[in-house]
Amino acid sequence: METVRVSASREYDVIIGTGILDTAGERIKAIKKPCRVCVVSDDTVFALYGERLRKSLENSGFSVCEFVFPHGEESKSLENFGKIQEFCAENSITRTDLIVALGGGVTGDLAGFAAASYLRGVDFVGIPTTVLSMVDSSVGGKTAVNLKAGKNLCGAFYQPILVLADCDTLGTLPHETFCEGCAEIIKYGMILDGEFLEFLQDNSISDNIEKVVKRCVEIKRDVVNRDEFENGDRKLLNFGHTIGHAVEKCSNLKISHGNAVAIGMVIAARGAYKTGLISEDFTKILLPVLKANDLPTECEFSADELYRAALSDKKRSLDTISLIVPEKFGLCKIVKVSVEELETFIELGLK
């Protein structure tokens, strides 16, 4: 069992290990007296783990109500956000109560934003059950839902009071979903930790999952401690995301976030090299490690389609957009390109 402490606007522990789910009630009780809990989960995860979480919470004196929604990115919507608000009110959740997210990044982002807004903020605990949510979305307090115009355009920074990452739950993940989380893991190596990137080049992620989750959480913790509200360094965590979000949007959310980030990192690395922003072709490092983890490295969309989709990105200011590009092995930098330059960047990045 490993504990990583985050010191952002709120301090909290991220507990990583096995056998944690059945002890969730005791662990939450250690930091919050028994109260009413609204568990938010998607239908797939709830069927697998909902009962065990309820038992653990009730055994520790919490009283539980459950909001279950259909799995998938389409559910990260204003509509479900509104439904959770109404559900909490109908179930008498008060300011001293708790919302718990049991599931992947979709559940965490949706439930976290609901917790940030309901009664202007109620405590929130994350129980991530995908690789992606353990290494990335459950840590650092970004919560959001998607708008028609693009991904994560409506949300809030809102830190949890505790994160419980039980690696046993990863045992039921489909292979493809496991791999999607590996894209964010590879991202950490590329942007901030050459030694970790080297480890990923030589070792299997699944054989070392606890160690890998811990290292990713530490990297993210360090970034969030320095720049919680993304005024500087935190932007590095968006490597592959500006174009990745465009890929997701062009696919009508059919291409998952992790797969889109994998494709986005390749386009960013190639585009930066071919436009002369950097002197080294980092796709030589990225492509083998992505392929070894069964991740896609290309998509069928045209530069024009991706360009139009990327214009709604949050990293855009009036006529420039911030892109993250590799600088050295295990190090990335932030560059600003004009909106006009972006289309050429994507065009060259595609091939």
Q: Buried (b) or exposed (e) across 80-97, using 16+ Cβ within 10 A? A: bbebbeebbeebebeeeb
Instruction: Report yes or no: 104 and 172 within 8 Å, Cβ to Cβ.
Output: no
Count the neighbouring beta carbons within 10 Å of the beta carbon of residue 311: 15
Token readout for 296 is: 């896609």
Cβ-based neighbours of 250, under 8 Å, separated by 6 or more: 299, 301, 305, 306, 309
Token readout for 235 is: 């932007």
Active site residue 238: yes
Active site residue 80: no
Site for ligand GLY in 205-224 (CB under 6 A): none
Instruction: Report yes or no: 36 and 65 within 8 Å, Cβ to Cβ.
Output: yes
Judged by CB under 6 A, does residue 169 bind ligand NAD?
yes
Minimal distance, residue 242 CB to ligand GLY, in Å: 12
Sign of torsion over alpha carbons 69, 72, 74, 76: positive
Could you tell me which stretch among 4-12, 143-151, 231-239, 330-338 binds ligand GLY (CB under 6 A)? 231-239
Minimal distance, residue 44 CB to ligand NAD, in Å: 3
Using CB under 6 A, pick the residue from 27, 54, 76, 142 that binds ligand GLY.
Answer: 142
Judged by CB under 6 A, does residue 234 bind ligand GLY?
yes
Residue 159 interacting partner from ligand NAD, ligand GLY, none (CB closer than 5 to 8 Å by kind): none
Active site residue 241: yes
Token readout for 185 is: 């893991």
Minimal distance, residue 33 CB to ligand NAD, in Å: 28
Judged by CB under 6 A, does residue 237 bind ligand GLY?
yes
**Nearest by Cα to 212 from 187, 244, 241:** 187
Count the neighbouring beta carbons within 10 Å of the beta carbon of residue 161: 17
Active site residue 73: no
Site for ligand NAD in 136-155 (CB under 6 A): 136-137, 140, 142, 151-152
d(CA 158, CA 9): 9
Judged by CB under 6 A, does residue 42 bind ligand NAD?
yes
* Candidates 151, 187, 235, 257; catalytic one: 257
C-beta closer to ligand GLY: residue 50 or 244: 244
d(CA 5, CA 220): 11
* Residues with catalytic function: 120, 142, 184, 220, 230, 234, 238, 241, 245, 257
Q: What is the contact surface with ligand NAD in residues (CB under 6 A)?
A: 42, 44-45, 48, 71-73, 76, 103-107, 109, 129-130, 132-133, 136-137, 140, 142, 151-152, 169, 172-173, 177, 180, 256-258
Residues found near ligand GLY in the complex (CB under 6 A): 136, 140, 142, 234, 237-238
